Amino acid sequence: MDPINNSTLSSDDSDDELDWEEVEVPRAEHLEITLQPKATSTKASTKRKGLSHTERLTRIHCHKIHTICLIANGWIRNHWINDELLQARLLSLTPLPLQNSFAMIHKSRVPDAARRGYLFEASITRLAEWWSESFFEVTPEGHLRNRTFEDVQLGLEAQGFRSLAEPAAKKPAAPAPAFLELIQSLHQSPTIDNETLQDILDDDGEFIRTPKSLMKHALMRKGSRDLSAQLFTALCRSLGIPTRLVVSIQSVPWQANINKPKAKPRTKKGKGKAIESQASSQSLNGDLKEQAKSNPIIKLRKQKPKGNRLGGPSPAASSSARNHIPSPSVTPPVFWTEVFSRGDGRWLAVDPVRCIVNKRKAFDPSPGASAPPGPSSFGSLGTPAPQKNRMAYVLAFEEDGYARDVTRRYAREYGAKVSKVQGQGRGKGRLEWWNRVLSIVHRPYRLHRDDIEDEELDANEMKEAMPTTISGFKDHPLYVLTRHLHQNQIIYPEPPDTPELGKFRGEPVYPRSAVVDLKSSENWLRSEGRVVKAGCQPLKMVKARSGTVNKLREIETLKTAGAGNGEVMQGLYARGQTEMYVPPPVIDGIVPKNNFGNIDLYVPSMLPRGGVHVPFKGVAKIARQLGLDYAEAVTRFDFKNRRALPVIEGVVIAVENEDVLLEAYWEAEKEAEEKAHKQREERVVKRWKRLIQALQIRQRLQNQYQNTHDEMPPADHHQPDTDQAGGFLVGADDVVQPFHLPRNFHPVLPSYPPLNLVPKSMKELAARMDTTSVTADDVSESPLPPETEATTDQAMPKSTRTHNGKALKLGATRSSARVSRQKRKKDNDSEDESMASDSPLLKKRRTKGSDESMPVPSSSRVLRPRLPRREA
């Protein structure tokens, strides 16, 4: 046989039972296999896989938690700036003319509302000018910045925390374990000082712990951009103006491609560049920890002023960005102020740092959309500075602590971009989550100005210009392109009747409100209990799908029968084409049934008139015994292995039979319970009996052979006596160890019907034994007499001392053990029972006979006064 062919066979054929023939293998030939990393594998490794599900979940969890933390931060700051002393101090520092200018705007002095609005705007502008130009000095650092997931991760790893992505890769089954690990690691090292935190964040954060810190900065007239806005808000409140503290939440985005530099052509090689690319590539591969070990990150903290570090997150970019980043006094802020103009009845946005009033679009930081009055956000070297401000959620905190989502006021491309970040149109749970978060901070009741504001925000959304990209139309709340319609969606009424809103690159644009979701007739019935109205034609035909084997066969049959025309199509209908399904009523106690002999009850509305659903297990049997007409209720389907299994929950029965059925059902339940209780009681008594008998045997053996042991040479101790039957029990002391009943140190479980089967002492046990009838089949020994102690030599019953007129032989013991074992096998059931278990005798028996499964529960159950019922 050719050895190569042989090997081929062996590799191809996995059948182990092949008969192998010995052949001569030519020795001169040897097979050499050289494995080389192929170019394709390199290519495959460089091709980045998408985020794993776990990693994506981790990112989303981080995003959510960070968002909530930042909302809490905004809430606390908003609370602190209500401090009366702080407001009083700020007011005392404000020039009187500025204060008076607000006091002058009153209905009595200026009856015209529009004029009052104008005056108010002018006054607030003067106040902002004074604040920004002569009162408060803004430091370039300390404000909140947006960080990517990778940035934070690198910072954490640099400080010795494990990678967020790393455990996710190792344990894909556990959802978001990395985050939990981070929490745990943070918990285990509670001494994260500010410096470490700043290192993690690569930032000189500004720590404000109390309103007093705010006051300090107010008196110093210096602080971060965020602080400036917070203090300005406090000042406005002190002036009696309804004022909101607006926060643009800068939570870490969950997307992987945010702020990630696109792969550059490999033209330049530089150390810094190499480190940077290495760092950025590591973050997703998950092996960053090892890299970090081999290339320890050198912190330059001691040489600060600024916390640049080699090997940190995009050092070249970050340092250049740090050096060339535009001053915070010219870029859109994260905190700003909204003041309510009573004259105009609307909120005016105020940026006290850039001195901008009533220019809502000046707060959107997105590079294309925003045109802030200042340099662009990119460095002069052409290196893109990472975007430090992203508009996703904008919350306005009012004086009473409640907040409102005002993102629509400030985002320029709300529909095209920001709404998608908030979760509209995708990631089903995301929008719900954000709405839930909002519901926590929203005022539980509405003010008139809230209604007006909502109208304004709706109008803003409607006025928003059409997107300028195709992706902008995707999931847009207002517009839709036909290319983005899902398979089960159409524009309805059909396009000639639904007017085009315009054209985008030749494609018609329709309103999102004209998009209608469709379902097949079966889906309408099964999901909502609706049926297609008679005569309705499907609005759309789609390829029929086969989720089950049966359906697949059906489709195949149709395909072959359909003259090879191809696909089998299925009609889809709109909700408006359906009506509620009205099942045939129950007449004379007869429940209508379907082809399968049961009744469809997917939604409660499908219950027939005159019928009632009794959703208990086993109720069908009772109904049958009572001779009542019933139908088993199919409430849903389980899908396993391409097979739909109906889930039956109880029965549907005529209303007039409900009481009879229920009564019989409860009666049957009660009887079954009592029966089960009785059976259980019998089993427990039987097992106690068996235990006691085992103890008796042990005692007897000890008494009988104690003296013999002393005389026997030790060498024979473990040798079986082959001359005598039953010699296998010579080493009985190894088998039968001193037995101690465990103590009752376990807590009593919730009360169940007491069984009171467990004797509290051996004496009581023996007494019970005496009263319990023991059959001859059970064991050959009779129970202990009640007045004797089982542990005394005298306790040996007479019948155990002799067997067939002689002293009991071990063989007899074996035979009795066998009988007992057979009996036990007969009695054996799989239930867990109360039974003293730790007897080595029993253990040994279990190991000897594999079929033996005498319930041996833990000691916790032995002396428990009450025994748990198995089924609840």
Partner DNA sequence: GTGCCGGACCCGACTTTGCCGCTC
Partner DNA sequence: AGAGCGGCTTTGTCGGGTCCGGCA
Q: Which residues bind DNA (CB under 7 A)?
A: 44, 46-54, 56, 254-257, 260, 262-263, 284, 367-368, 382, 384, 425-428, 468-472, 475, 486-487, 520, 522-523, 526-527, 543, 545-548, 550-551, 594, 596, 598, 600, 618, 621, 624, 634, 636-637, 639-646
Burial class from Cβ neighbours inside 10 Å (0-12, 13-18, 19+) for residue 670 reads exposed
Taking CA atoms, 297 is separated from 154, 158, 160, 294, 859, in Å, by 10, 6, 11, 9, 56
Nearest to 580 by CA among 632, 633, 515, 527: 527
First and final CA of the chain: distance in angstroms? 68
**Residue indicated by tokens 């909140």:** 144
Nearer to DNA, 53 or 443 (CB): 53
Shortest distance, position 53 Cβ to DNA, whole Å: 3
Contact 286, 163 (CB under 8 A): yes
Shortest distance, position 507 Cβ to DNA, whole Å: 10
Amino acid at site 126: R
Taking CA atoms, 871 is separated from 315, 673, 677, 751, 827, in Å, by 64, 9, 10, 13, 20
**394 in helix, strand or coil?**
strand
Nearer to DNA, 594 or 858 (CB): 594
531: Cβ–Cβ under 8 A, 6 or more apart, which residues?
A: 521, 524, 525, 578, 579, 580, 581
H or E element, residue 667? helix 658-711
d(CA 861, CA 687): 13
Contact 312, 202 (CB under 8 A): yes
Shortest distance, position 649 Cβ to DNA, whole Å: 12
Helices (H), 723-834: 732-735, 762-771, 798-801, 810-827
- Beta carbons within 10 angstroms of residue 117's beta carbon: 19
Nearer to DNA, 41 or 194 (CB): 41
Shortest distance, position 332 Cβ to DNA, whole Å: 15
d(CA 865, CA 674): 20
**What is the sign of the dihedral through the CA atoms of 281, 141, 328 and 412?**
positive
Nearer to DNA, 118 or 504 (CB): 504
Shortest distance, position 594 Cβ to DNA, whole Å: 5
**Residue indicated by tokens 């005529």:** 654
d(CA 796, CA 783): 10
Nearer to DNA, 198 or 523 (CB): 523
Shortest distance, position 597 Cβ to DNA, whole Å: 8
Nearer to DNA, 265 or 750 (CB): 265
Shortest distance, position 344 Cβ to DNA, whole Å: 34
Shortest distance, position 406 Cβ to DNA, whole Å: 24
Q: Which two tokens stand for residue 131?
A: 């604040």
Nearer to DNA, 569 or 762 (CB): 569
Beta-strand relationship, 502-504 and 507-511? antiparallel
Backbone angles phi, psi at 640, to 5 degrees: -135, 125
Burial class from Cβ neighbours inside 10 Å (0-12, 13-18, 19+) for residue 486 reads exposed
Nearer to DNA, 30 or 262 (CB): 262
Nearer to DNA, 384 or 857 (CB): 384
Shortest distance, position 834 Cβ to DNA, whole Å: 20
Nearer to DNA, 575 or 643 (CB): 643
Nearer to DNA, 53 or 533 (CB): 53
Contact 650, 599 (CB under 8 A): no
Nearer to DNA, 581 or 637 (CB): 637
Nearer to DNA, 426 or 801 (CB): 426
Shortest distance, position 862 Cβ to DNA, whole Å: 27
Shortest distance, position 52 Cβ to DNA, whole Å: 5
Shortest distance, position 720 Cβ to DNA, whole Å: 35
Shortest distance, position 620 Cβ to DNA, whole Å: 7
Shortest distance, position 675 Cβ to DNA, whole Å: 11
**200 in helix, strand or coil?**
helix
Peptide bond into 372 cis (omega under 30): no
d(CA 231, CA 86): 9
Nearer to DNA, 52 or 744 (CB): 52
Contact 870, 846 (CB under 8 A): no
215: Cβ–Cβ under 8 A, 6 or more apart, which residues?
A: 83, 85, 86, 89
d(CA 61, CA 810): 69
